[in-house]
A and B are shown apart, each in its own frame.
Chain A
Amino acid sequence: MTVLQLEQIGHAFLGRTVLDGIDLAVKAGEMVALVGPSGSGKSTLAHIAAGLLDPRRGRIYRSYRHHGVIFQEPRLMPWATAADNIAFGLVAHSRKGCPIFRTRVEDAAARVALEPADLAKFPAQLSGGMRQRVAIARALIAEPDFVFFDEPFTALDVALKRRMQDIVIDTVAGSGLSGLFITHDLSEAVRIAHHIVVLDSHGRGVAGGRSVPSSPGERDDRMVFETAHAFLTEDRLFAHVNDYNERSIT
């Protein structure tokens, strides 16, 4: 069953076309990775798919219950503590007074490896990686059945990134979560996604898609490395993604 379907999505900012003719579908329990060079319109597409931006053209069909969004920046409320920021993910779902509220916040924080002592701090007192983990906890606390990830782990170090990826993989396998995962890191895409979609470098449609063999939880590091390497060196589809990586180094 398809839970998210985009049909011929097109968008323009101030008359400049950013996206055109994008088709994309995500099935239930499936994680689709969207890769593409910087500025190709990935964030714009995520905002459109999440209903935060009205596209100029095209149609969106959603059949999940409710979604969570993890933005490229943490987008925390600077006046609220980490705990209150995480709890903000529940404002539309439950009352603040209810007793399980606190434990839910603590559970969500523990899942993203935030320590209880950090929960009383304000965003300005947290490191960049901690802020992003607060944002991830805020998106996951309401237990959405669909999550939009917009390059969420870029600010995290390697060990934490792995831990966060494992959380995503486990949640998808365990609770039937579906999602659209935007990244420019191809090995990350290979590690957590069932299917990889490459956006055209100028947002003119989808350049193509590849399914990743086996399911996300079963891939070991070697398989991830070799698959990503094979995609980059042998598959024409991923040429632009490689371009981007080279540019980002300089």
Chain B
Amino acid sequence: MLGTRAARTGRFLWSAWAGMAGLSVFAAIWQLGHETYGSFILPAPAETLVSMVGLLADPENWRLIGVTAARALVGFSAAALFGTAAGVLAGYHPAIMRLARPQITLLLGVPPIAWIVLMMIWFGNGAGTVAATAAVAGLPVVFIGAAEGIAGRDRGLDDMSRAVGLGPISRLVRIALRQILQSLFPALTMALGTAFKASIMAELLANAGGVGAELASARANLDVAAALAWILLSVASLIAVEYGLLQPVRAEAEAWRESARPWGVKR
């Protein structure tokens, strides 16, 4: 078991290496843009990295990133919890699904900026507004992921576990929830990204501190280097949360898929 885990980590690091190659292409295009338009419009990638390292030297900035990440995670957790619960319910009951579908379309259709305005009126300019915006932004994706997972489950396994003598709660936990992971995880990954983006946007508009407020002040000072550095930092913190938290859980739960794949098709 430990061996397969080590192998998985090794493969992951290898693919991270490949990801670096992709990023360097991006950096090259960025560099090209810098050389065309100059430092004022678009600072060079190297310059941005330097100012990002400069930001990281200040512990106060670490605290700001922590504040934003915490708000995003609170919103994400709420979305994950409520979205999954509602999605499972709707997956089991087509009637609830029919009632919920229009609400989901509605939620998806309302632009996040409108939510921020509403939340600011309801919760004021604080952490509550930011977290609530993140939650609302992530909710529909999680709901759809969970509902699709339940609706597309293998009903044969339900009958099987009933025949083995399992009660409804155990069946839900051991059979149904286990099966929805496949469609739930991509949804959770997306909701996490959305939560980060929505948090920063809410912070910027509500001037609620965190990374968003720093971005706002960078804009006020026309400090493009600082703005880019903060953007880089927020992307980095999202990546850290996703690959430090979400993906390991997923890899653990979906280990069987890895071994089910034919030989030589490991990615």
Which of A10-18, A88-96, A183-191 is found at the contact surface with chain B? Answer: A88-96
A-side binding surface: helix, strand, loop or mixed?
loop
B256 & A78 in contact (Cβ 8 Å cutoff): yes
Contacts of B163 in A (CB 8 A): 50, 52, 67-69, 71
Residues of B within 8 A of A68 (CB): 163
Q: What does the 1/0 interface line of A60-99 toward B look like (CB < 8 Å)?
A: 0000001111010101011110000000110111000000
Instruction: Give B149 Cβ to nearest chain A Cβ, in Å.
Output: 13
Q: Please measure, in the bound complex, the distance between the C-alpha atom of A66 and the C-alpha atom of B254, giving whole angstroms.
A: 33
* B164 close to chain A: CB less than 8 A: yes
- A167 contact set on B, CB distance < 8 A: none
Complex Cα distance A138/B166, Å?
Answer: 14
Interface: A122 (CB within 8 A): yes
A122/B260 in contact, CB under 8 A: yes
- Residues in B neighbouring A47, C-beta threshold 8 A: 159
Complex Cα distance A237/B164, Å? 35
Q: Residue of A at shortest CB range from B182?
A: A79
What total of A-B pairs shows CB separation below 8 Å?
Answer: 55
**Counting CB contacts under 8 A, is B3 at the interface?**
no
- Contact of A75 with B159 at beta-carbon distance under 8 Å, contacts A91-B170, A124-B259 already known: yes
Can you list 6 residue pairs at the A/B interface with Cβ under 8 Å? A47-B159, A75-B156, A77-B157, A88-B164, A89-B164, A125-B260
Instruction: Specify which chain B residues have a CB less than 8 angstroms from the CB of A75 in the assembled complex.
Output: 154, 156-157, 159-160
The answer on a CB contact under 8 Å between A71 and B256 is: no
| CB pair A71 B156 closer than 8 Å | yes
B137-186 CB contacts (< 8 Å) to partner A: 154, 156-157, 159-166, 170, 174-175, 178
Chain A residues with CB below 8 A from B157, complex form: 75, 77
In the complex, are the beta carbons of A77 and B260 less than 8 A apart? Answer: no
8 Å CB contacts to A: which residues of B76-90? none
Tell me the smallest distance from the CB of B158 to a CB of chain A, in Å: 9
Q: Which residues of A contact B260 (CB under 8 A)?
A: 78, 122, 124-125
- A50-B163, A68-B163, A93-B165 are known contacts; what are 13 more A-B pairs with Cβ within 8 Å? A52-B162, A67-B163, A73-B156, A77-B157, A77-B178, A78-B260, A88-B164, A89-B164, A92-B166, A121-B259, A124-B259, A125-B260, A138-B164
Residue from B160, B165, B178 within 8 A of A92 (CB atoms)? B165
- B residues near A (Cβ < 8 Å) are 154, 156-157, 159-166, 170, 174-175, 178, 253-254, 256, 259-260
Q: Which residues of A contact B164 (CB under 8 A)?
A: 88-89, 91-92, 138, 142
Please state if B160 and A66 are interface contacts (CB–CB under 8 Å).
no
Q: Which of A73, A80, A91 contacts B165 (CB 8 A)?
A: A91
Indicate which residue in B156, B160, B166, B256 contacts A79 across the interface (CB closer than 8 Å).
Answer: B256
A113-149 interface with B by 8 A CB criterion: 121-122, 124-125, 138, 142
Interface of chain A residues 21 through 56 with chain B (CB within 8 A): 47, 50-52
Q: Determine which residue in A73, A79, A92, A93 has the highest number of CB atoms from chain B within 10 A of its CB, and name it.
A: A79
The distance from the CB of B24 to the nearest CB of chain A, in whole angstroms, is 37
Bound state CA distance, A68 and B161, in angstroms?
A: 11
Measured between beta carbons, the chain A residues less than 8 angstroms from B165 are 66, 91-93, 142
Considering the chains assembled together, what is the distance between the CA atoms of A51 and B260 in angstroms?
33
Task: Given the known inter-chain contacts A71-B156, A75-B159, A77-B178, please indicate yes or no for A122 contacting B256, CB distance below 8 A.
Answer: yes
Q: Write the nearest CB–CB distance from A126 to chain B, whole angstroms.
A: 10
Among residues of A, the one whose C-beta sits closest to the C-beta of B253 is A79
> Which one of B156, B160, B165, B170 has the highest number of Cβ atoms from chain A below 10 Å of its Cβ?
B160
**Closest B-chain residue to A73, C-beta based?**
B156
A50 to B, closest residue via Cβ: B163
Q: Which residues of B contact A78 (CB under 8 A)?
A: 256, 260
Contact A125 B156 (CB under 8 A): no
Out of B178, B253, B259, name the residue touching A122 (CB < 8 Å): B259
Q: Give residues of chain A (206-232) contacting chain B, Cβ–Cβ below 8 Å.
A: none
